[in-house]
Amino acid sequence: MGVGAVAGDVNRNDRSIVALVMLAHGMVHTYELSIPIFVAIWLGEFASIDLGLATIPVTTASLGVMTGLGFALFGLGALPGGILVDRVGSKRLIVACLLGMAGSFVLLALSPNLVVVALALVVWGAAASVYHPAGLRLISTGVEERGTGFAYHGIAGNLGIGFGPFLTALLLLFFDWHLVAGVLALPALVAAALATRANFEEQAAVAATDGGDGSDTGGDDKAGAGVSSFAELVSQSKHLFAGGFALVFALVMFSGLYYRGVTTFLPDLLGSVIGIEPIPVSELLPAALASGSAGGAPTLDVELFVYAGLLTVGVFGQYVGGKLTDRIRTERGIVAGFGALAVIAVAFLPVASLGVGPLLAVCALLGFFLFMVQPFYQATVAEYTPAGLRGLSYGFTYLGVFGVGALGGAVAGYILTVADSTALFLVLAGFATAATLLGVTLLRRRPTPA
């Protein structure tokens, strides 16, 4: 086989992998960031959570804990997902993830109370948890242009992040939230059907780079074999955390706390704290239509669409961050990105209170930098870990981002209950500052990759 034919095969393999992970990543975040839209609805619709033996009032704190259960499992399941993907491969887990998420939103559509809602969110978290180890391992071992693969992967995630809340908010203008949840289950079913037809070589990039020996680090670790026992899990985990990956893990925990802390209640904050008022849909219609829609006309919750727009801006942040990972040291991008997030957290409320223009500007900056940092830490994980344990390393990574990070929602809810939004954003600034300092430490030490 000639060089041209090989290049063509590699390109087709890259395209097949990137297409699959873009589809699946978009689905995962479509559901993830639609949940805060529902939280804003549940705050107004439910007065209590009936646990049988006790009844808990519905507050930002109690809903923060309830949604945190699903978000926590989203992260906690990443570690077993990372172990499993090194054993069985990425494609099977991605298909299972899509089917599980569809089922969880069917259960959400059938939920008669917040207890069943919590169960549906737990099912979603368990199903979604396996995606990031599977998808990111697939990029890191199967795509030769890794940075570009991460960039397009991130773009698709942000399209889901923006499109999911936008579609949810739009449907909620006209339909009950139960029906909306049921409609949202359909895209994941379609995506699962398409994923089963994908065809590619999962280890193509590792084989191309290292002559097929399965290691891009020069070590003796096995690629694609993963861990086969608890003792080996402990041994390999110690190996991972003995080097720079320990600092990367600490960094992504603070990233997750910031991310979940700022996104969980942001739609409610935009409406109640900053004071964006709902607009009757009739005011947006032509006069002939508006005259016949008075009375029961729905209102447009502007804050939900501002929130969706903020998340959509993250597409550009993901693209810029992904492209820069191929051009600069990832540690520099981490320092710059989290430093910017610390400043934005401190300035957010003062700037947003100045008017519509400053509000939209600071929201756009938040959306851009919130997602620009993701390709940097994703690529940093690949630099500090061996190919044979890439699934395990991404499992630990998203245990930190979404598992430990899920506490950010509960922390945010508690702070909003006992204090105010100013205190919340100061705490968020502290999370970003801690991540910045860890990035500086990595930049100065630059340990030899494991």
Q: Could you tell me the pLDDT band of residue 2, with boundaries at 50, 70 and 90? A: very low
Q: Cβ of 171: how many Cβ atoms within 10 Å? A: 18
Alpha-carbon gap, residue 196 to 94, rounded angstroms: 9
The answer to whether 135 and 78 are in contact (CB under 8 A) is no
CATH number of 228-449: 1.20.1250.20
CATH number of 10-202: 1.20.1250.20
Alpha-carbon gap, residue 199 to 194, rounded angstroms: 11
| Token pair for 301 | 């919750």
For the whole model, what pTM was predicted?
0.70
Alpha-carbon gap, residue 90 to 40, rounded angstroms: 35
| pLDDT tens, residue by residue, 262-277 | 888 887 787 766 656 6
Q: Is the pLDDT of residue 258 over 70?
A: yes
What pLDDT shows up at residue 391? 72
For residue 188, the Cα-to-chain-centroid distance in whole angstroms is 16
Q: Is the pLDDT of residue 24 over 90?
A: yes
What pLDDT shows up at residue 336? 94
User: Average pLDDT over the chain, rounded to whole?
Assistant: 80
The answer to whether 341 and 291 are in contact (CB under 8 A) is no
Helices (H), 291-406: 302-324, 330-352, 356-383, 390-398
CATH 1.20.1250.20 location in the chain: 10-202, 228-449
User: Which is more confident, 282 or 248?
Assistant: 248
DSSP H or E stretch at residue 55: strand 55-57
| pLDDT tens, residue by residue, 157-210 | 878 877 888 888 888 888 889 999 999 999 999 989 888 887 777 766 665 555
